[in-house]
Amino acid sequence: MTNTSVPYEYIRSKLKDCNPVNISNKSGACYDGEKQELYVKLMGKRYIVQYPSGYVYHEDYSEVDQFVMKTLILRYLINAKGMPATGKEINYKDVPGGQVYYRNFHGRCIMRLARTFGGNIPAFEEAMEKLNGTKNGYGDISYRFQFLNNIYITFILWKGDDEFPPSANILFDENVPYYFDAEDLAVVGDISIGCLRKLISPIVDKL
């Protein structure tokens, strides 16, 4: 998925063929029939999708300018199959197509997570607490958090030492194939890490 208008315009054209009530039921996005708007929560923020146009806005009705973000939100709404989160986790390789795209996902998302937060655990903790993440027992530190409505992710970090650099892993709730394919999940990883980075205060970032 590239950050251009072509994928967005394509998926936007598909929205009008979908029933907004069905979308709401299957995606967990609230639908306001009077305003003809769907409301999606992504990384703690609410986004507005107008139906049937497919235009995506921030909560203050300023337009989202990232085509990748808009495309991912619309793909979630249109492809949602209504499977709730299970609380059980799977690796990227367990997702259909994950074996094929794993090398890309590892470099693009897992290594980026390690580089971004592996040497700054306080920043990782601050960002996750702001996101209301739930700490669990993987690695040296890990959190499970809500990415998008029914999509939950677990970020895991190992601090590293004199011999080994920091490392990371990313797990998904096992319901994720009912919403996204392997290629989409690389974008999910990109967006989630970028959003976490924006939650860090300048002081903690320098630790």
Query: Which pLDDT tens digit goes with each residue over 22-47?
Result: 999 999 999 999 999 999 999 999 99
Indicate if 140 and 172 belong to the same structural domain. yes
Q: Are 33 and 19 in contact (CB under 8 A)?
A: no
Indicate if 48 and 101 belong to the same structural domain. no
Say what the pLDDT of residue 2 is: 57
Give the C-alpha separation, 82 to 131, whole Å. Answer: 24
- The residues that bridge with 2 in the sheet, in sequence order, are none
Q: Tokens standing for 30?
A: 């609230």
Helix/strand/coil for 7: helix
**Does any domain span residue 62?**
yes
Q: Is the predicted pLDDT of residue 207 greater than 60, yes or no?
A: no
Q: Is the predicted pLDDT of residue 204 greater than 60, yes or no?
A: no
Indicate if 182 and 96 belong to the same structural domain. yes
Indicate if 61 and 103 belong to the same structural domain. no
Q: Are 154 and 143 in contact (CB under 8 A)?
A: yes
Q: Structurally, how many domains does the chain consist of?
A: 2
Indicate if 94 and 188 belong to the same structural domain. yes
Containing domain of residue 66, as a range?
5-79
**Does any domain span residue 197?**
yes
Helix/strand/coil for 48: strand
pLDDT in tens, 75-109: 999 999 999 999 999 999 999 999 999 999 999 99
* Section 43-55 average pLDDT: 97
Give the C-alpha separation, 153 to 171, whole Å. Answer: 6
Indicate if 56 and 94 belong to the same structural domain. no
Average pLDDT in the chain: 94
- The helix (H) or strand (E) run that includes residue 74 is helix 67-79
**Does any domain span residue 65?**
yes
Indicate if 94 and 194 belong to the same structural domain. yes
> Looking up tokens 């251009």, which residue turns up?
4
Choose the final residue of a domain: 61, 79, 97: 79
Give the C-alpha separation, 142 to 138, whole Å. Answer: 6
Choose the final residue of a domain: 39, 58, 79: 79
Indicate if 98 and 68 belong to the same structural domain. no
Give the C-alpha separation, 185 to 1, whole Å. Answer: 10
Q: Other C-beta atoms within 10 Å of 126: how many?
A: 19
Indicate if 73 and 157 belong to the same structural domain. no
Classify 171 in phi/psi space as left (phi over 0), alpha (psi -120 to 50) or beta: beta
Indicate if 112 and 184 belong to the same structural domain. yes
Q: What predicted TM-score, i.e. pTM, was given to this entire model?
A: 0.93
- Give residue 203's pLDDT band: very low, low, confident or very high (50, 70, 90): low
What ranges make up the beta strands (E) of 2-140? Answer: 30-32, 37-42, 45-50, 56-58, 89-91, 134-136
The separation between CA 92 and the C-alpha centre of its own chain, rounded to angstroms, equals 13
**Does any domain span residue 188?**
yes
Q: Tokens standing for 198?
A: 């924006």
Say what the pLDDT of residue 177 is: 98
Indicate if 43 and 129 belong to the same structural domain. no
**Does any domain span residue 140?**
yes
pLDDT in tens, 139-193: 999 999 999 999 999 999 999 887 889 999 999 999 999 999 999 999 999 999 9
Say what the pLDDT of residue 162 is: 79
Give the C-alpha separation, 177 to 204, whole Å. Answer: 35
**Does any domain span residue 84?**
no
Choose the final residue of a domain: 56, 79, 102: 79
Indicate if 102 and 148 belong to the same structural domain. yes
